[in-house]
Each structure stands twice: as structure tokens, then as C-alpha cells.
A and B are shown apart, each in its own frame.
Chain A
Amino acid sequence: MPFVNWLKRNLVVLAGLLTLSYLLLPNVVVTVFSFNKPKGRFNYEWQQFSLDAWKDPCGVSGLCGSLSLSLQIAVWATLGATLLGTLIAFALVRYRFRARGAVNSLIFLPMAMPEVVMAASLLTLFLNMGAQLGFWTILIAHIMFCLSFVVTAVKARVMSMDPKLEEAARDLYAGPFQTFVRVTLPIAAPGIAAGALLAFALSFDDFIITNFNAGSTVTFPMFVWGSAQRGTPVQINVIGTTMFVVAVLFVLVSMVAGNRRNRQKA
């Protein structure tokens, strides 16, 4: 029974591939339905092939505005969270200080808290302070919840760093600043990049916390949410497909570039 044996040996592979297809199925549907020409207001049923939405991706009022707002917020939130998070990560790995436990739990808790709890409590703060909900409250919230993820990513990288490299730099008469810029920072860079990438993705895609603290400002996820109640334009699928393709290409290109760099070193 060669087939049964083959099946036994590769059962885990088959199960894994099934899970992978479960993960990717919605992306396939999103892509296919970006070429749809729906009859009603909702784009859930296949009607006929059409390129209309691809020719006019901004054809729905408010869509591209919300997209550019989301991108702006994501860029600023990434910058803010990466800067603050990297500083914390270095302090945690490189220094001894009091209240270490308290700092660790303050970083861990936002990741262990359901988003809706953070969203609701932050809204009570803003309401109590009488803050105007909008761009700034969204940005504040995004930096807050991205921070912990940046700290974790950077910390992992800095922890695995060989401290002897920095000692060597010092022995070769590099000042503290020079050592940091020429040795420490380049080695920590992949961790910082990973943290920044994660922050960008988290901020760009955030809905729950944004929905509570945005007031009448509409980010891209909020636009999609609103359209799920009023009617989903095909353009949403066009943007979803583009985002997926750009992300895959970006990762592929940077991986190929990384491989080439590694080969050159070797």
C-alpha cells in the first residue's frame, strides 16, 4: 500500500497546506471580486467581469481621502512608536534600574488587553479632558498601542547582540557616540525595522481603537466599516488587492536584496 504510506508520511504537509489555503481564500475572493460589476449596492455576489473599478479606484467619494489619512497616521505613528520603543528597549537590555518589573508589566499589559477595553478607557480620558476627537487623538492612541510591539521586536535583537563588538569599537578609540552610530545602530537595525514594519501594519489596519477615538474623522478601516452598512463599492476590493500585492512584492524584493548582501559578505 504505497499510497497509504505516502499519505501517512505527508499528512502534516497536507493539513498545513489546507490551513494555508484557508488563510489565503479571502484574499483570492477579494481579488476576484475587484473585477465584479455588482447589481445592487453590495459586492457580495458575482455578476459579470468588469474593469470599471480598476480604471477609477478613487471613484467613490471619501475613499481615497480616508486612505491618505490612514497612511499619514500610520507614518507618524510608526515614527513615534519606533523612536520611543527603541529607547525603552535599549534601556531594558543595557541598563540596570529600579522599577524594572513595573516597566516590564506596563509594556506587557497593552498587548494582553482586549482592544475594546483600551479603546473605551482612552475615550473616557479624552471625554473627561474635553479633548477634540480627530487626527490627534487617533495618533496618540496608535502610538500607545504600537509602542509595546516595537519594544518587544527591538529588545529581541539587541539582546542577541554580542557586547564584545562594542567593546572592540571602544578599544579602537571610537567615542560613545561613534560606537553607537557605527556599530550598535547598524546591528540593531533589523530589529528596529521589524518593529517599525509591525507598527505600520498595526496602525494602518486598526479599527476598534480608532472607531472609539476618531470622532467624525474617517480612516480607511472606518470607511470600509461604514460601507459594510451602507453598501460596499468595488473600489474597496481594488485597494485591498493592491495592498496585498504591494506587501508581497515589498517583502520579496527586500528578501532577495538581503540574500544578495549576505552572499557578498560570504
Chain B
Amino acid sequence: MPTLTEAPPPLAPGAPESKPPKRRGRFTPYWLLLPGILWLVVFFALPMIYQASTSVQTGSLEQGYKVTWHFATYWDALSAYWPQFVRSVLYAGTATILCLLLGYPLAYLIAFRAGRWKNLIMILVIAPFFTSFLIRTLAWKTILADGGPVVGAFNTLHVLDVTNWLGMTAGDRVLATPLAVVCGLTYNFLPFMILPLYTSLERIDGRLHEAAGDLYARPWTTFRKVTFPLSMPGVVSGTLLTFIPAAGDYVNADLLGSTDTRMVGNVIQTQFLRVLDYPTAAALSFILMAAILLMVTLYIRRSGTEDLV
């Protein structure tokens, strides 16, 4: 089945889009688009507007909410929850960098060095997707358990001293610390880094490596000057596909962290589903959306790719 491995990453920037040919039937494309686009407008775009409106409402659950253009909600939400915002960016950023460092060798291995094991490794990368990610995240509770082998090894190797100094862990524990949350985030979004990296590495002409070698480039220079620049589209879409969901995630922070590791997703979830303070929750969610869109736009501008879909 040449399916999942063949599909390019959802955000493959730089893919040239040729002009589609003109066809008969002026209205055909609109009929084809209508149902799906209508679905997205009603259940994706319209909710964004409802959310924006909810964020400037005041009132209470009992008496109902009214739009009063109460923008102070934004200010209140930000001043109350800015640590969670900062944490989200920090954790998601660290996880993204770790994903890149861990994912690149594996993507490289699959693309160039795996030989006949290629398909098997590819399956092993994708297969965990089919086991519920919540079950797999819970498994990290066992792996990182207090006094377990991982914590023991970290202690012996003095890794914990470094992470304690960085404020990632506290004392002899890994569970319920920022390190555990970052570890869970990295684990959960790693395949989203590997697949686009693999797709862009796969496209590289092997003869370029030979040419670099013929011109007396050492393997590391070949990588730095040829392979890595050519894999940039994969790096860009991989980092986006990792950072965006990681920044909004609240599952890892909830299952592997503590009250000190709450991210903005946790706050939105609690405000919406438990506290039922809809305006604050909507404002927080709106800020998160705006921040992410802004970051994504700037990032794509800087990396010089405009075409996204």
C-alpha cells in the first residue's frame, strides 16, 4: 500500500502549482466545492466569529450573556494567565527543537540508509498513531516513575543535576515536572516532524551527494552545504506541524505534569468546561489563535516560502 508514505506533508511549502486547464461547465467547480466549503464555513469560520463575539460579552450563566464590547476581558485574561502563555511557548518551543534533533537522523536513515528495511521502519513510525495517544502518554507515567530505571540512569549520569539547574526538574523526580511534559510533547508530535522531513529528503537527487564528494567535500560539509539546505521545506513544515499542536496541547501537561506546569490549553479547558467562564475562555483562545497565526506568518516569511497548501 503506497498510501501514507507517499502522501506529502500537509504543509508542503514551495510546491509549484501549475495552472489547471480550463474546462467546460462553468459552474461545475462551484458545485464540487459547495458541500465541503459550506461545512468549513459553518463549523470552522462561523465558530471563530461566535468566539470573538463571546469574548467581548459580559453577564453570567444564569442571566445570560450580552455583547457589551467589554475588551477588558482580554487584559484581565492576559494579566492573570501570562505565565501559562509563556510556558506554552517555552515547552512547545523546546519540544519542537528536540523533535528536530531526534527526528532528523531517523528521517535521514529512512531516506538514505535503510535499504530494504525502509518500509518496515516507515510502518513502525506510523503504527503508534493507531493506538490511542492517551494510552501511550499514560505509559510515560510508568517509564518516568519515581525510582524507576530512567530516573535512576538520569541520576547516575548527573542529567538531573543539569535539568535541576535549568529548572526543568526538581529534586529526584522527573514525573510532574516540566521535563516530563516536554518529553511527552516531544514524543507525541515526533511523527509530525519525521514525515515531512522524510518527504523532502527523499526528493533529493542522490547524485548531488556524489558530486559533493567528488568536489572533496567531507561528509559533514556535504550535509551542511547540500543536504540540509535542500531539506528546508521539510524542516519548515515539520517545525510548524510540531509547534502548533504542542502550543495548544493540554493533555501532556495534565497527565504528566503538575499544577506548576499548566499550559494555556489547560486554562482554556478549565475555564470552558469546569468554571464555565465563557468570555475569559473565549478571549484566551482568541489570543492563542492570533499569537499562533502571527508567529506562523512571520516564520514563513522569514523562511522564504509563500505557498502553503
Residues in chain A within 8 A of chain B (CB atoms): 12-13, 15-20, 22-27, 29-30, 33, 44-45, 84-85, 87-88, 90-97, 103-118, 120-125, 127-128, 140-141, 143-144, 147-149, 151-153, 156-157, 163, 190-191, 193-195, 197-198, 201, 204-205, 207-208, 211-212, 220-221, 224-225, 228, 232, 236-237, 239-241, 243-244, 246-248, 251-252, 254-255, 257-258
Given contacts A85-B36, A221-B134, contact A29 B240 (CB under 8 A): no
Q: Is the CB of B128 within 8 A of A116?
A: no
Measured between C-beta atoms, what is the minimum distance from A4 to chain B in Å?
14
The interface bits of chain B over 46-60 (1 if a CB of A lies within 8 angstroms of the residue's CB, else 0) are 111011001000000
B127 interfacial contact with A, CB 8 Å: yes
Q: Is the interface of A mostly helix, strand, loop or mixed?
A: helix
Measured between C-beta atoms, what is the minimum distance from B47 to chain A in Å?
4
**Bound complex: CA of A33 vs CA of B133, how far in Å?**
16
26 contacts between A and B (CB under 8 A): A13-B113, A19-B190, A23-B187, A91-B32, A92-B20, A97-B33, A103-B33, A104-B309, A106-B40, A107-B40, A108-B308, A111-B10, A113-B289, A116-B285, A117-B286, A120-B285, A124-B50, A124-B278, A143-B39, A151-B36, A156-B8, A190-B2, A239-B135, A244-B131, A247-B130, A251-B123
Measured between C-beta atoms, what is the minimum distance from A190 to chain B in Å?
6
Measured between C-beta atoms, what is the minimum distance from B197 to chain A in Å?
11
Given contacts A106-B37, A113-B292, A125-B43, contact A244 B4 (CB under 8 A): no
Q: Is the CB of A116 within 8 A of B269?
A: yes
Given contacts A12-B113, A117-B289, A212-B272, contact A251 B23 (CB under 8 A): no
Total of A-B residue pairs, C-beta within 8 Å: 300
Contacts beyond the supplied A91-B29, A108-B308, A112-B296: 20 A-B pairs with Cβ under 8 Å: A16-B110, A20-B121, A23-B190, A24-B124, A27-B139, A87-B33, A95-B23, A114-B244, A120-B51, A124-B278, A125-B43, A141-B43, A144-B40, A144-B44, A152-B10, A163-B21, A191-B7, A201-B129, A244-B128, A258-B1
Chain B residue numbers with a CB within 8 Å of A20 are 106, 121, 124-125
Q: Is the CB of A12 within 8 A of B105?
A: yes
Measured between C-beta atoms, what is the minimum distance from A21 to chain B in Å?
10
Spot the interface stretch: B68-76, B157-165, B209-217, B247-255: B247-255
Chain A residue numbers with a CB within 8 Å of B3 are 190, 193-194, 197
Measured between C-beta atoms, what is the minimum distance from A151 to chain B in Å?
8
Chain B residue numbers with a CB within 8 Å of A12 are 105, 108-109, 113
Q: Is the CB of B127 within 8 A of A88?
A: no
Chain B residue numbers with a CB within 8 Å of A94 are 20-21, 23, 29
How many residues of chain B are within 8 Å of chain A by beta carbon? 96
Q: Is the CB of A221 within 8 A of B132?
A: yes
**Bound complex: CA of A108 vs CA of B251, how far in Å?**
24
Given contacts A12-B108, A95-B28, A117-B288, contact A84 B119 (CB under 8 A): no
Measured between C-beta atoms, what is the minimum distance from A164 to chain B in Å?
12
Q: Is the CB of B309 within 8 A of A220?
A: no
The interface bits of chain B over 265-292 (1 if a CB of A lies within 8 angstroms of the residue's CB, else 0) are 1001100110000100110011011001
B87 interfacial contact with A, CB 8 Å: no
The interface bits of chain B over 78-117 (1 if a CB of A lies within 8 angstroms of the residue's CB, else 0) are 0000000000000000000000001101111110010000
Q: Is the CB of B130 within 8 A of A116?
A: no
The interface bits of chain B over 136-170 (1 if a CB of A lies within 8 angstroms of the residue's CB, else 0) are 11111111010000000000000000000000000
Q: Is the CB of A114 within 8 A of B288?
A: yes
**Bound complex: CA of A26 vs CA of B186, how far in Å?**
13
Given contacts A26-B187, A95-B23, A212-B272, contact A121 B134 (CB under 8 A): no
Q: Among the listed B11, B248, B272, which residue makes an inter-chain contact with A123, where contact means beta carbons less than 8 Å apart? A: B272
Q: Is the CB of A122 within 8 A of B47?
A: yes
**Bound complex: CA of A17 vs CA of B143, how far in Å?**
19
Nearest 5 pairs of A and B residues by beta carbon: A114-B248, A16-B109, A247-B130, A95-B29, A15-B105
**Bound complex: CA of A124 vs CA of B269, how far in Å?**
13
Measured between C-beta atoms, what is the minimum distance from A263 to chain B in Å?
14
**Bound complex: CA of A193 vs CA of B127, how far in Å?**
16
Chain A residue numbers with a CB within 8 Å of B298 are none
Q: Is the CB of B289 within 8 A of A87?
A: no
Q: Among the listed A22, A29, A97, A121, which residue makes an inter-chain contact with B30, where contact means beta carbons less than 8 Å apart? A: A97
Measured between C-beta atoms, what is the minimum distance from B63 to chain A in Å?
15
Given contacts A12-B109, A147-B36, A148-B10, contact A23 B251 (CB under 8 A): no
**Bound complex: CA of A122 vs CA of B40, how far in Å?**
11
Q: Is the CB of B36 within 8 A of A87?
A: yes
**Bound complex: CA of A107 vs CA of B41, how far in Å?**
10
